[in-house]
Structure 1
Amino acid sequence: MLTFYYNAAPNPLKVALLLEELGLPYDIVPVDGRKGEQFDPAFLAVNPNGKLPAIVDGDTTVFDSNAILLYLAEKTGKFLPPAGDAARGQLLSWLMFVASGIGPYSGQAVHFRHFTPEPIPYAINRYTHEVMRHWGIVEARLAAQPYMLGDTYTIVDMAAWGWARMLPFVIGPDVFATLPNVKRLLDEITARPAAIRAEAIKSRFTFKTEMDEEARRFMFPQNANLPA
């Protein structure tokens, strides 16, 4: 059975959504970043980068949420265009757009807006601007069609959903005033039975919620004068 290394952050949630959409059986191994469990040798053997999520599927190990989405979609032949279809190039392009743009810039915006020891206006402005630029591109795409690849719900929409849920925290409570079609897609996916089940996974585990000194040492070791 597939093993899914999980926490409640946006990237693992994307994978949980696809697993639930596919109906694949899986075991969950929770990994609590605020307790430093991502540095356990057993997990580092699965993902040397020490980040969530990761999966082990028989002899195959996959880490990075977008790589996992692509792997599972290709394995099952679901939620992606068929091989050789012209839309496959669009799927790969938009999936990498989420992987290299939306995810990293959103994560950095969260860090500099909420967790940096001292506010750095330049960094806040830089990452806020880039987050909104990326989501503006998605908004324009969704203004012309129901889903990122047209009329069909795919793993690209799932990849975007993971971070779209977090936009009020990433940017602010009024963010969807300028992203109505992103909000439309977010609401549609969130209402899907698979998404409801994916969201409910976190209630099965107890993750540390306090950002205390211990959590900061594990999450941001550079700020505690520890090796990165």
Structure 2
Amino acid sequence: MPENFFITISDPDTPPKTNTQKRTSLTVDRTSPDYPHPFGKIPALLDGDVKVFESGAILMYLADKYGGLDTPAKRAEAGKWVVWANASLDPICFKEDGNGRVLGTGLADDPPPLRTLDALLADREFLLGNGEESFSVADVAVGSYLLYVPLFFPDINTLPRWPNVQRYMLQLLQRPAYAKAFGEGTAQQLQNVVSRKADSKLFGLF
């Protein structure tokens, strides 16, 4: 989970640019009434006069405007995964206390939703199907939460429990856009973590 994530779009015909900065160097005044998030939180997006907050809403807005979600059926097909990622996958990936502090990751266990996701990915490259044209905002939402786990918990060794999820994560890491957003070094580091083979003790073999 990035410390700060603020997006501005100055030209509606140009894809959005992102600006990520450390909290200590952020120059945006999040207390200003002009800031896109009414609660002064992040992430937030400003597109001309349009203000959007919450990551899921931002993803759907950008996909709607730039990604061809031009029918209710297409919006629903992608949107259900964005909502699932925020509402269900996030608390699995990151266990928090009552104050919102992350205590660990549920991926260290064997949560049933991960088994279901693994089964769904058995015959498809991306969440909405196969082929590059099937890559969508659904994969951005779900993949982001999954890939934040090895970023924050590099000792994670349970991913081989879900081989299709593991393969899916590696596919996303190898996309040029991921390396562009997070850096080549981070992308390669996470590929090494995600591709880690199963520990024999993980499956009770000694």
Of Structure 1 and Structure 2, which has the larger fraction of its residues in helix?
Answer: 1
Distance 2:71 2:88 in 1: 25
- 1:52 partner amino acid: I
Residue 163 of structure 1 corresponds to which residue in structure 2?
Answer: 145
One of 174, 179, 204 as aligned partner of 1:196: 179
Note the C-alpha offset of 1:150: 1.5
Taking a change above 3 Å as real, the CA distance of residues 36 and 27 of structure 1, as seen in their structure-2 partners, is closer
Taking a change above 3 Å as real, the CA distance of residues 23 and 158 of structure 1, as seen in their structure-2 partners, is farther
**Is 1:93 paired with 2:75?**
no
Aligned partner of residue 41 in structure 1, secondary structure: coil
State the identity as a percent: 24
Taking a change above 3 Å as real, the CA distance of residues 130 and 155 of structure 1, as seen in their structure-2 partners, is farther
Query: What TM-score do the two structures reach when normalised by structure 1?
Result: 0.60
**Is 1:26 paired with 2:8?**
no
One of 20, 30, 43 as aligned partner of 1:53: 43
**Is 1:137 paired with 2:112?**
no
Residue 150 of structure 1 corresponds to which residue in structure 2?
Answer: 129
Mind listing any 5+ residue stretches in structure 2 that lack a counterpart?
Answer: 8-12, 187-206
Distance 1:56 1:27 in 2: 11
- The answer to whether the 8 A contact 2:31-2:40 is kept is no
Note the C-alpha offset of 1:23: 6.9
Equivalent residues, number: 174
- 2:142 partner amino acid: A
Note the C-alpha offset of 1:73: 0.8
Higher relative contact order (CA 8 A, sep 6+): 1
Residue 184 of structure 1 corresponds to which residue in structure 2?
Answer: 167
Q: More displaced, 135-144 or 191-200? A: 135-144
Aligned partner of residue 95 in structure 2, secondary structure: helix
Mind listing any 5+ residue stretches in structure 1 that lack a counterpart?
Answer: 1-6, 16-21, 115-123, 204-228
Note the C-alpha offset of 1:31: 5.6
Distance 2:96 2:114 in 1: 13
Query: What TM-score do the two structures reach when normalised by structure 2?
Result: 0.66
Cα shift readout 1:149-203 (whole Å, capped 9, x = no counterpart): 11211111111111111234459511211122112111111111111111139x9
Residue 8 of structure 1 corresponds to which residue in structure 2?
Answer: 2
Residue 74 of structure 1 corresponds to which residue in structure 2?
Answer: 64
Taking a change above 3 Å as real, the CA distance of residues 37 and 58 of structure 1, as seen in their structure-2 partners, is closer
- RMSD, matched Cα: 3.9
- The answer to whether the 8 A contact 1:54-1:62 is kept is yes
